[in-house]
């Protein structure tokens, strides 16, 4: 910061701050609260609500502190009679048409309109006429309800749609007393970021349809956690009632992962915690599932695992939505007790070389990067990943880099994506042609002469500046994925050293599953294990006769016909998870209920390797228990009891055994998490090579 | 006491103690003098003997944990002058780890139990204290509950039976983490009475002819769950050691988790015979913290209810006290009139005992139409009824035999132990907070403060009888002043708007909503107003931090201090006299143990 700081006085306090800082921000730095409605640190200022009026010496009128940058020597009063009177007046205007809804409004208790009225507003009404009435609530989108009477016209929602999500679905209609927020005729507000407007809304005008009447704010408990929707690892706050039910997820800003936003699939995707749960252990008896005690179910499961492990006919599929501690326990049981090599976390066909996408990228010569690198990048290249669908919140980051800082985006994929609208170039590949396309791109960047139709994109990517490559798992599905390694190496070479690469994995703990070795690896004793898809095929052929399913996700994306055939052919099935999958027609020999993220402590590792804590928010449903605890019991039943009896001990053991996690400490993770070591080590290695 | 007076005393202290004293002037308070911990004994002695004529009466010492500040703990001493009618706060500050300060027990004997309570609840050690043990929590308890880093709820109760099981998981973190776990109390086994005797009660066994008996905690004449260890020589009491805490419910801790209106309801449950008196003391302190003045009608009604409460409390005392000594009939007479008063409480608040009727800002609601006629009916009959009680007892030879010359305490001792109320005035000290430091306009009422001469059970009896008569006088005067008007202050940021408005006005709805659900916000500062309840000096010391909840809600309760003087009164008595003496100091264990 070589810039000179500006000195000004706010309420007699001398504040030194960077030029360009807005008055309202400078006041906040000095610990002085200026009430605001339309101002939001992530949105461009508009000065619409007039709540933040302050007096500046020399200015004839009160001015809006949210649109006024600081000036040297400014003398500002935020609390004198004139300002107080203005605030009272503004609040009185805002309340004129505000409906008497507090007792039934979701916002009541956490509402800035209430809070500022109590702190700064009048305590009596002078308005004696009927209030304006409108139909309400309007369902303007699948997740959003609009109550126009409550709206105070701060435009935060409209500005969010214009500036942040770039889904321009909300607008301001009519003028004056009849002014309203609304959608365009016939167009629903179905943006996948719509839920953020609920949080932005300073009153209860926009409320979430799924979370409507979730409870009163003061009887809701808050627990920090991590979203399990995708691998971004957005930080969330889990809101609970009675310690037994999740009623709402709220954003919890962490610049390293989410930048303060959530997507709707994540925000509203908590239903599986409350409903349809497997609440007690089940065992098979006479072709039926009957409830059992934990001892019975563990004994049954242990017997199945032991028998088939000895016979070499056991396969283990673990869900990448389990916590790292659970996955570590499963892996430990598989490798040290059962000695089974067939262990995977996904049933999708992936080329063996590309199984571990992050290693794949590192071997190509990219420097491992983080999601945060996107915001400093000059050039952003996405390869084989549709961020808008797979990692919506990262999509917002890319949009922000492009629109606010003018970063250049190049999309490489099989079809035009939503992000293509923001890209300078979209490079399309034909299915089967992925490697060749990436290779031509690399050539175009490396030498202008070879630019066969990619001259412009090559020129663009040759420009100086930090570069980030976002690499999607779909390239690993390509039939010629074997050759894509060399194409990527060529691209890394062409883009130059220091090009960062973030591999975009699919599930919330896919990265953890990779770090912990939940994939078929070459084993010196038992040979190469089978991948998920290979296990299913082997099951059809009778080579795998028992499966231990830990969670349901591994099979979610697999070919349903293959899954059905495999299940029918199996001799035995042990299921462990929070609900029996709907597609599972077969009666499992033992079903072990495990807890969801809301009911336990643990860690997830996000797509770029940030290890983040989840905290127990509610009591476990029924008799469900954390997966690591269940595995502990299985180990005990198999005669090899594990020593780690608490989640913290499992974590410490995991960190000691996993190079990527070395040096992490349970208590030091805090609520924001820590980066794992793999990236920094790999970066050091790459730097040494370069 | 005005801030100016504190400043004057401070200036004198400056001459004497130099830089070791400073003036703390937190907003809304009368200010206090802050003393270096090393000079606390010198300063206390100077305050008692010299400062502005001397402060002879020890009110209390209480602690506040400002977690995160250094020094961490404030110890606030409050002393009164029974002659000059004023009080003074002075503070000293001690810090982690191992907070300690010199005891002032030899200067003010009344500090003994207060210091033990701080040791128990905050883990502050008082050097030179002759008997520094836990007082409210059991001996084996781990942690100091009123510290801010002690959990507010959810943790398992540490009974001696489950102590070993819950230790690792549910107790506060281990030493060196956050919570200081106390001295060597962990080594102490749950107290049996013999261990209690050995550990600090200074009782000696000389083998021959002496025995130690338990009186209570299940004894009917201990008026609650009080346990007295009596060492007897034949039938004579050699020593008595009260053991309290059986009824400890963590009211001060709970108060910190509730907003001001909710915390008010805890005060009812503290001294359950004096709910309105407790409501009043709490409300006055909160109002002082906020700087709020209730309207005239509310103040007059507050006086009426405070005096009615005093009468009904005295009636329970008289009935049970006489019952203890074998006089059955008085009980029925007393409860007849008490019921009349409880009926009136029910009329205005809907509840006979836990009224929560007097609240910060005024009264919960105005009195009902049938209240004044009912009150008049009561006032009409009460003087005669009072005569009936006196006929039964005052010149009854058995009563005289049982009460005269029994349980004596001298005026000097009573003052030094911080005994207040009729128990103090029975010894001839004419000190009543209503006269000494009037609140609610008591200075404008015409009433006498009766005093005794001998300081025995009989004089305390006479004082209370006369007090009922004086209360009757006060209510008559108050009733004549009662004018129509609002009963709640017109401060919308504290007192919720009337219900009728919230269907019309958004402003009113928001204020009503927030004050009801979250609570009104009190500014940072301190509020403390001494009051006189049926049992004596009751004051709440409220520390506000700008939130809707009290940061600290300390209750200085009269029974706690009065009971402390009981061993003194019992020395040389017969066992049967112990019953008479306990009855005569009119304790309520609910407010002793809180």
Using the beta-carbon criterion (under 8 Å), do A113 and B510 form an inter-chain contact?
yes
Instruction: Using DSSP, state whether B15 is helix, strand or coil.
Output: helix
- List, for chain A, all residue ranges whose pLDDT scores fall below the cut of 70: 1-3, 349-354, 450-452, 481, 521-527, 678-690
Minimum Cα–Cα distance from A113: chain B residue: B510
* Residues 654-673 (A) with a CB less than 8 A from some CB of B: none
Instruction: Give mean pLDDT, residues B129-133.
Output: 82
Burial class (CB in 10 A: 0-12, 13-18, 19+), A61: exposed
What is the distance in angstroms between the CA of the first residue and the CA of the last residue of chain A? 30
Using the beta-carbon criterion (under 8 Å), do A123 and B508 form an inter-chain contact?
yes
Please count the other Cβ atoms lying within 10 Å of the Cβ belonging to residue B407. Answer: 28
Using the beta-carbon criterion (under 8 Å), do B505 and A102 form an inter-chain contact?
no
Using the beta-carbon criterion (under 8 Å), do B507 and A95 form an inter-chain contact?
yes
Cα dihedral A117, A119, A121, A125, rounded to 10, equals 60
The pair of structure tokens assigned to A383 is 């390869």
DSSP calls for B345-369? HHHHHS-SS----EETTEESSPPPT
Using the beta-carbon criterion (under 8 Å), do B492 and A95 form an inter-chain contact?
no
Please name the residues in contact with A628: beta carbons below 8 A apart, sequence gap of 6 or more: A323, A325, A326, A328, A329, A602, A644, A647, A650
- pLDDT confidence of residue B241: 83
Minimum Cα–Cα distance from B522: chain A residue: A119
CA distance B271 to A592: 54
Q: Residues A246, A617: contact at Cβ < 8 Å?
A: yes
- pLDDT confidence of residue B88: 87
Query: Among the residues of A365-431, which ranges form H helices?
Result: 387-390, 392-405
Any chain A CB within 8 A of the CB of B68? no
Q: Is the pLDDT of residue B285 over 50?
A: yes
CA proximity to A580, closest of A307, A243, A284 = A284
Using the beta-carbon criterion (under 8 Å), do A100 and B502 form an inter-chain contact?
yes
Instruction: Using DSSP, state whether B212 is helix, strand or coil.
Output: strand
Any chain A CB within 8 A of the CB of B490? no
The pair of structure tokens assigned to A328 is 């570590």
The pair of structure tokens assigned to A180 is 């309203």
Burial class (CB in 10 A: 0-12, 13-18, 19+), A264: buried
Please count the other Cβ atoms lying within 10 Å of the Cβ belonging to residue B145. Answer: 20
Any chain A CB within 8 A of the CB of B516? no
Any chain A CB within 8 A of the CB of B164? no
Q: Supply the DSSP symbol for B157.
A: P
Using the beta-carbon criterion (under 8 Å), do A113 and B497 form an inter-chain contact?
no
Instruction: Using DSSP, state whether B495 is helix, strand or coil.
Output: coil
Q: Residues B143, B163: contact at Cβ < 8 Å?
A: no
Using the beta-carbon criterion (under 8 Å), do A117 and B510 form an inter-chain contact?
yes
Any chain B CB within 8 A of the CB of A635? no
Candidates B497, B510, B520, B548: best to mutate against A (most CBs of A within 10 A) is B510
CA distance A603 to A677: 15
Instruction: Give mean pLDDT, residues B471-490.
Output: 91
Banded model confidence at residue B27, pLDDT cuts 50, 70, 90: low
CA distance B104 to B128: 8
Residue A665: in which H helix or E strand, if any? none
Candidates A35, A84, A98, A100: best to mutate against B (most CBs of B within 10 A) is A100
Banded model confidence at residue B207, pLDDT cuts 50, 70, 90: low
CA proximity to A419, closest of A441, A405, A434, A398 = A398
Q: Residues B568, B409: contact at Cβ < 8 Å?
A: yes
The pair of structure tokens assigned to B32 is 């206090």
Instruction: Give helix B260-268 / helix B275-290 axis angle, nearest 10°.
Output: 150
CA distance B503 to B499: 8
* Half-sphere exposure in the Cβ direction for B582 (13 Å, CA): 28
Please name the residues in contact with A386: beta carbons below 8 A apart, sequence gap of 6 or more: A413, A417, A418, A419, A472
- pLDDT confidence of residue A583: 81
Using the beta-carbon criterion (under 8 Å), do A123 and B511 form an inter-chain contact?
yes
Please name the residues in contact with B546: beta carbons below 8 A apart, sequence gap of 6 or more: B521, B522, B523, B524
| Separation in Å, CA B113 to CA A399, B62, B101, B132 | 68, 11, 15, 9
Number of Cβ pairs < 8 A linking chain A and chain B: 55
Please count the other Cβ atoms lying within 10 Å of the Cβ belonging to residue B333. Answer: 19
Distance (Å) from the alpha carbon of B518 to chain A's nearest alpha carbon: 8
Using the beta-carbon criterion (under 8 Å), do B517 and A124 form an inter-chain contact?
no
Using the beta-carbon criterion (under 8 Å), do A124 and B507 form an inter-chain contact?
yes
Decide the pairing of beta strands B32-35 and B86-94.
parallel
Please count the other Cβ atoms lying within 10 Å of the Cβ belonging to residue A641. Answer: 12
Q: Which segment of A408-417, A576-585, B211-220, B291-300 scores lowest on mean pLDDT?
A: B211-220
Per DSSP (E only), the strands in A149-301 are: 170-173, 180-183, 206-208, 220-226, 235-241, 245-251, 282-285, 288-291
- pLDDT confidence of residue B168: 42
Buried-state track A222-240, b at ≥16 Cβ within 10 A, e below 16: ebbbbbbbbbbbbbbbbbb
Please name the residues in contact with A168: beta carbons below 8 A apart, sequence gap of 6 or more: A161, A162
- pLDDT confidence of residue B26: 65
Q: Residues A308, A339: contact at Cβ < 8 Å?
A: no
Any chain B CB within 8 A of the CB of A61? no
CA proximity to B290, closest of B529, B594, B452 = B529
Q: Supply the DSSP symbol for A160.
A: I
CA distance B307 to B470: 9
CA distance A458 to A379: 12
**Radius of gyration (Cα) for chain A, nearest Å?**
28
Block residue for tokens 């009264």: B363
Minimum Cα–Cα distance from A97: chain B residue: B506
> For A102, which of B493, B504, B510 is closest by C-beta distance?
B510
CA proximity to A486, closest of A424, A536, A530, A438 = A438
> For A114, which of B504, B510, B521 is closest by C-beta distance?
B510
- pLDDT confidence of residue B174: 37
Interface confidence, given as ipTM, is: 0.83
Using the beta-carbon criterion (under 8 Å), do B513 and A117 form an inter-chain contact?
no
CA proximity to B77, closest of B25, B20, B115 = B115
Please name the residues in contact with B347: beta carbons below 8 A apart, sequence gap of 6 or more: B367, B368, B370, B371, B374
Q: Residues A27, A44: contact at Cβ < 8 Å?
A: no
Any chain A CB within 8 A of the CB of B502? yes
Any chain A CB within 8 A of the CB of B257? no
Q: In what order do the strands lie in the sheet with B236-243?
A: B210-215, B227-233, B236-243
**Phi, then psi, of A294 in degrees rounded to 5:** -60, -40
- pLDDT confidence of residue B25: 66
Using the beta-carbon criterion (under 8 Å), do B492 and A102 form an inter-chain contact?
no
Q: Supply the DSSP symbol for A22.
A: B
B556-589 pLDDT, tens digit each: 999 998 998 888 888 888 888 888 888 888 888 8
What is the distance in angstroms between the CA of the first residue and the CA of the last residue of chain B? 27
Please name the residues in contact with B53: beta carbons below 8 A apart, sequence gap of 6 or more: B81, B83, B84
Instruction: Give mean pLDDT, residues B396-406.
Output: 88
Residue B311: in which H helix or E strand, if any? helix B296-324
- pLDDT confidence of residue A450: 66
Using the beta-carbon criterion (under 8 Å), do A123 and B493 form an inter-chain contact?
yes
Minimum Cα–Cα distance from A103: chain B residue: B513
Average pLDDT in chain B: 84
Give this prediction's pTM. Answer: 0.83
Any chain B CB within 8 A of the CB of A109? yes
Chain B residues with beta carbon closer than 8 angstroms to that of A92: 507
Please name the residues in contact with A327: beta carbons below 8 A apart, sequence gap of 6 or more: A318, A320, A345, A509, A512, A513, A516, A518
% of chain B beyond a pLDDT of 70:
90
Instruction: Give mean pLDDT, residues B492-501.
Output: 87
Distance (Å) from the alpha carbon of A33 to chain B's nearest alpha carbon: 14
| Separation in Å, CA A177 to CA A100, A131, A180, B366 | 18, 11, 9, 42
**Phi, then psi, of B78 in degrees rounded to 5:** -125, 120
């Amino acid at each position: 910061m070589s810039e000179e700081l500006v000195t000004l006085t706010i309420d007699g306090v001398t504040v030194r701050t960077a030029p360009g800082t807005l008055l309202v921000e400078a006041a906040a730095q000095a610990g002085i609260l200026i009430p605001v409605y339309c101002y939001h640190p992530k949105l461009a200022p508009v000065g619409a609500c007039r709540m933040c009026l302050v007096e500046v010496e020399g200015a004839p009128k009160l001015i809006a502190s949210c649109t006024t940058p600081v000036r040297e020597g400014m003398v500002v009063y935020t609390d004198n009679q004139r300002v107080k009177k203005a605030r009272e007046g503004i609040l009185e205007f805002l309340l004129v048409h505000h409906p008497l809804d507090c007792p039934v409004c979701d916002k009541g208790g956490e509402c800035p309109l209430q809070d500022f009225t109590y702190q700064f507003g009048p305590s009596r009404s002078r308005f004696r006429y009927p209030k304006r009435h409108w139909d309400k609530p309007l369902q303007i989108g699948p997740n959003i309800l609009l109550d126009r009477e409550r709206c105070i016209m701060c435009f935060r929602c409209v500005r969010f749609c214009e500036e942040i999500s770039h889904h321009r679905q909300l607008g301001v209609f009519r003028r004056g007393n009849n002014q309203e927020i609304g959608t365009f005729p016939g167009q629903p507000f179905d943006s996948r970021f719509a839920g953020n407007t609920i949080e932005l809304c300073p009153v209860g005008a926009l409320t979430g349809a799924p979370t409507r009447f979730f409870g009163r704010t003061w009887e809701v408990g808050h627990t920090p956690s991590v979203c399990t929707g995708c691998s971004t690892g957005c930080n969330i706050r889990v809101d609970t009632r009675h310690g037994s039910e999740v009623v709402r997820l709220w954003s919890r800003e962490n610049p390293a992962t989410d930048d303060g936003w959530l997507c709707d699939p994540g925000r509203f995707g908590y239903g599986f915690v409350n409903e349809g749960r497997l609440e007690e252990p089940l065992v098979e008896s006479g072709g039926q599932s009957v409830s059992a005690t934990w001892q019975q179910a563990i004994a049954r499961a242990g017997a199945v695992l032991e028998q088939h492990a000895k016979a070499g006919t056991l396969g283990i599929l673990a869900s990448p939505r389990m916590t790292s501690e659970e996955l570590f326990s499963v892996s430990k049981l598989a490798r040290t007790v059962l000695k089974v090599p067939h262990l995977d976390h996904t049933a999708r066909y992936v080329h063996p070389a590309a199984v571990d996408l992050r290693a794949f990228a590192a071997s190509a010569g990219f420097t491992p990067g983080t999601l945060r690198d996107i915001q400093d990048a000059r050039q952003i290249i996405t390869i084989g990943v549709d961020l808008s669908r797979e990692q919506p919140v990262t999509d917002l980051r890319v949009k922000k880099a492009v629109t606010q800082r003018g970063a250049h985006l190049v999309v490489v994929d099989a079809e035009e994506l939503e992000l293509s609208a923001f890209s300078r170039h979209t490079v399309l590949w034909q299915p089967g042609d992925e490697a060749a396309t990436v290779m031509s791109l690399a050539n175009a960047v490396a030498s202008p002469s070879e630019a066969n139709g990619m001259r412009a994109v090559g020129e663009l990517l040759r420009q100086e500046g930090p570069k980030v490559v976002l690499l999607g798992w779909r390239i690993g599905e390509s039939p010629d994925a074997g050759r894509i390694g060399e194409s990527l190496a060529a691209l890394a070479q062409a883009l130059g050293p220091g090009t960062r690469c973030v591999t975009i994995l699919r599930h919330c703990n896919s990265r953890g599953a990779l770090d912990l070795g939940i994939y078929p690896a070459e084993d010196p004793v038992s040979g190469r294990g089978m991948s998920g898809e290979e296990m299913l095929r082997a099951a059809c052929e009778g080579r795998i006769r028992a499966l231990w399913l830990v969670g349901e996700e591994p099979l979610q994306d697999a070919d349903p016909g293959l899954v059905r055939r495999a299940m029918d052919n199996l001799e035995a099935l042990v299921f462990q998870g929070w609900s029996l999958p709907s597609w599972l027609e077969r009666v499992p020999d033992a079903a072990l209920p495990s807890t969801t993220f809301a009911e336990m402590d643990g860690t997830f590792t996000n797509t770029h390797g940030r290890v983040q804590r989840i905290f127990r928010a509610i009591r476990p449903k029924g008799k469900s228990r954390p997966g690591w605890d269940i595995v502990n019991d299985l180990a005990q039943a198999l005669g090899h009891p594990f020593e780690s009896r608490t989640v913290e001990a499992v974590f410490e053991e995991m960190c000691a055994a996993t190079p990527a996690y070395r040096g992490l400490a349970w208590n030091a993770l805090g609520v924001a998490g820590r980066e794992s070591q793999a990236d920094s080590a790999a970066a050091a290695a790459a730097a040494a090579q370069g | 006491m005005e801030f100016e007076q504190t400043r004057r005393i401070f200036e004198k202290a400056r001459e004497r103690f130099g830089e070791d004293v400073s003036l703390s002037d937190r907003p809304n308070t009368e200010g206090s003098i802050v003393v270096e911990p090393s000079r606390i004994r010198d300063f206390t002695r100077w305050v008692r003997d010299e400062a502005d004529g001397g402060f002879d009466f020890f009110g209390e010492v209480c602690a506040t944990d400002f977690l995160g500040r250094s020094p961490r703990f404030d110890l606030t001493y409050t002393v009164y002058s029974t002659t000059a009618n004023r009080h003074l706060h002075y503070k000293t500050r001690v810090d982690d780890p191992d907070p300690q300060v010199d005891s002032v027990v030899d200067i003010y004997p009344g500090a003994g139990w207060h210091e033990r309570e701080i040791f128990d609840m905050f883990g502050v050690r008082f050097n030179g204290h002759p008997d520094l043990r836990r007082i409210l929590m059991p001996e084996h308890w781990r942690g100091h509950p009123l510290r801010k880093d002690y959990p507010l709820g959810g943790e398992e109760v540490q009974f001696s039976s489950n102590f070993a099981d819950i230790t690792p998981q549910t107790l506060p973190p281990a030493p060196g983490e956050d919570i200081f776990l106390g001295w060597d109390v962990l080594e102490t086994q749950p107290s049996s009475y013999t261990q209690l005797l050995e550990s600090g009660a200074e009782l000696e066994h000389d083998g021959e002819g002496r025995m130690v008996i338990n009186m209570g905690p299940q004894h009917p004449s201990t008026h609650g769950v009080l346990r007295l260890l009596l060492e007897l020589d034949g039938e004579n009491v050699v020593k008595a050691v009260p053991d309290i805490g059986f009824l400890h419910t963590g009211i001060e801790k709970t108060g910190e988790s509730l907003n001001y209106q909710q915390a008010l309801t805890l005060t009812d449950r503290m001294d359950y015979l004096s709910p309105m008196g407790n409501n009043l003391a709490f409300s006055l302190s909160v109002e002082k913290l906020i700087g709020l003045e209730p309207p005239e009608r509310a103040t007059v009604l507050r006086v009426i209810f405070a005096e009615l409460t005093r009468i009904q409390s005295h009636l329970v005392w008289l009935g049970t006290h006489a019952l203890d000594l074998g006089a059955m009939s008085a009980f029925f007479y007393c409860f007849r009139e008490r019921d009349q008063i409880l009926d009136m409480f029910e009329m205005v608040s809907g509840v006979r005992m836990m009224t929560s009727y007097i609240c910060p800002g005024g009264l919960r609601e105005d009195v009902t139409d049938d209240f004044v006629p009912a009150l008049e009916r009561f006032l009409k009959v009460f003087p005669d009824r009072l005569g009936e009680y006196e006929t039964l007892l005052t010149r009854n030879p058995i009563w005289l035999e049982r009460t005269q010359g029994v349980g004596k305490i001298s005026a000097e001792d009573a003052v030094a132990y911080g005994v207040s109320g009729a128990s103090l005035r029975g010894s001839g000290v004419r000190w009543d907070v209503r006269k000494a430091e009037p609140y609610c306009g008591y200075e404008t009422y015409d009433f006498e403060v009766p005093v005794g001469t001998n300081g025995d059970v009989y004089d305390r009896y006479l004082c209370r009888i006369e007090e009922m008569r004086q209360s009757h006088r006060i209510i008559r005067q108050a009733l004549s002043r009662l004018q129509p008007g609002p009963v709640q202050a017109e401060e919308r940021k504290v007192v919720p708007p009337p219900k009728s408005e919230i269907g019309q006005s958004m402003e009113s709805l928001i204020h009503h909503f927030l004050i009801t659900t979250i609570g009104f916000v009190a500014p940072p500062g301190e509020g403390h107003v001494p009051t006189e309840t049926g049992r004596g000096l009751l004051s709440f010391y409220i520390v506000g931090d700008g939130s809707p909840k009290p940061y600290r809600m300390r209750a200085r309760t009269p029974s706690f201090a009065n009971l402390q003087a009981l061993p003194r009164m019992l020395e040389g008595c017969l066992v049967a006299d112990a019953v008479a003496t306990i009855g005569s100091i009119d304790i309520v264990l609910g407010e002793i143990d809180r």
